[in-house]
Structure 1
Amino acid sequence: MMKQALLGEFLHEAESTRKLLKAIPDSALNWKPSEKSWTTAELASHIAEVYNWYDGTFNQDIFDMGEYQYDKGDITKAENIVAKFEENFAKAHQAMEVSDESTYFNEWRMEAQGNSLFPPMPKIQVIRSFLYNHLYHHRGELIIYLRSTGNSVPGIYGPTADDKM
């Protein structure tokens, strides 16, 4: 039951993520709001990467960041970021499908070289915060990036100012 609820939200929200990533023009990829911020390309790439963390979260009790490697690919073109999202989305979907719902309350840890990076917590809490809410936070940032560069924003939870009513 919990797995089906998480899967339903995942599928619905992935469509919104897809629409948002497809709205990024190449001309906005190098823009960033401050020196401390990521560029649009880096932020969009990070959003795509979050989907690469699903297997390590849903199907493992320890996520080892010390061993984690990720090839973000060529982020100089928006279509490449969308393609990486699609690749990671497919892996995330599969990871959820094969996950065992009875493990969702297992203690989960993120480590690097044997050191905990965060306090241990139930896997379901990590799924909701580390995967889902983290992603929603960065999508909100990306919307601001698009607005700040004069680009249109697709409707996610309803129409935007760009939609004709």
Structure 2
Amino acid sequence: MIKQALLGEFLYEAENTRKILNAIPDSVLDWKPSDKSWTTGQLASHIAEIYNWYEYTFNQNTFDMGIYQYDKGDISTIQNIVAKFENNVSRAQQVIEGSDESTYFNEWKMEMNGKILFAPTPRVQVIRGFLFNHLYHHRGELVVYLRSTGNKVPGLYGPTADDRL
């Protein structure tokens, strides 16, 4: 039952992520709102990369960021970023579909070079927080990036100010 709920949300939200990534024109990939912020391309790539973390979250008890190879990929075009997203989201869906619900309440943690970054927590809580909510947070940032650069924002949960009703 939990798996089906997670999969349903995953599929719905993957489509929303697809919409927002496809709304980004190449002309704004280097734009960022402040010196401390990522560029639009870096943020979009990070969103695509989150889907690469499903294997580590669903099938391992420890995600060691010290050995994880983050690959932002070629972020020179939105087409490249969307291709990375499509590859990662397909693999993530397979991970969810093949996951064992009996492990959803096992403890999971994240560490880097022996230092605990994410304390032992039930896996299902990590799936909702670290994977799902983390992604929604960054998508929200991307909405602000699109607005700030004068681009239209697609409706994710209904019409936006760009939609004429």
TM-score range, shorter chain: over 0.9
Instruction: Provide, for residues 30-82 of structure 1, a one-character-per-residue CA deviation record: whole Å limited to 9, x for no partner.
Output: 11000000000000000000000001001111111111113221101011000
**Retained in 1: the 8 A contact 2:42–2:72?**
no
Shift of 1:164: 1.3
Measure the CA separation in 1 of the matches of 2:131 and 2:71.
19
Q: Secondary structure at the match of 2:118?
A: coil
Letter in 2 for 1:20: I
The size of the alignment, in residue pairs, is 165
User: What is residue 3 of structure 1 aligned with on the other side?
Assistant: 3
Shift, 1:127, TM fit: 0.4
Q: Whole-Å Cα distance in 1 between the matches of residues 91 and 72 of structure 2?
A: 15
**Which segments of structure 1 move beyond 4 Å, counting only runs of 4 or more?**
none
TM-score normalised by the chain length of structure 1:
0.98
In the TM superposition, what are the counterparts of 1:47-66 in structure 2 within 5 Å? 47-66=47-66
Alignment of 1:93-108 (within 5 A): 93-108=93-108
Alignment RMSD, CA only? 0.8
Consecutive unaligned residues of structure 2, counting only runs of 5 or more, are none
Structure 1 position 42 matched with structure 2 position 58: no
TM-score, with structure 2 as normaliser: 0.98
Matches within 5 A, 1:7-156: 7-156=7-156
Q: Percent identity?
A: 73
SS in 2 for 1:74: coil
SS of residue matched to 2:119: coil
SS at match of 1:120: strand
* Partners of 2:146 and 2:112 in 1: CA distance: 34
Counterpart-to-counterpart distance in 2, 1:117 and 1:132: 18
| 1:157 equivalenced with 2:157 (yes/no) | yes
Structure 1 spans left out of the alignment, 5+ residues: none
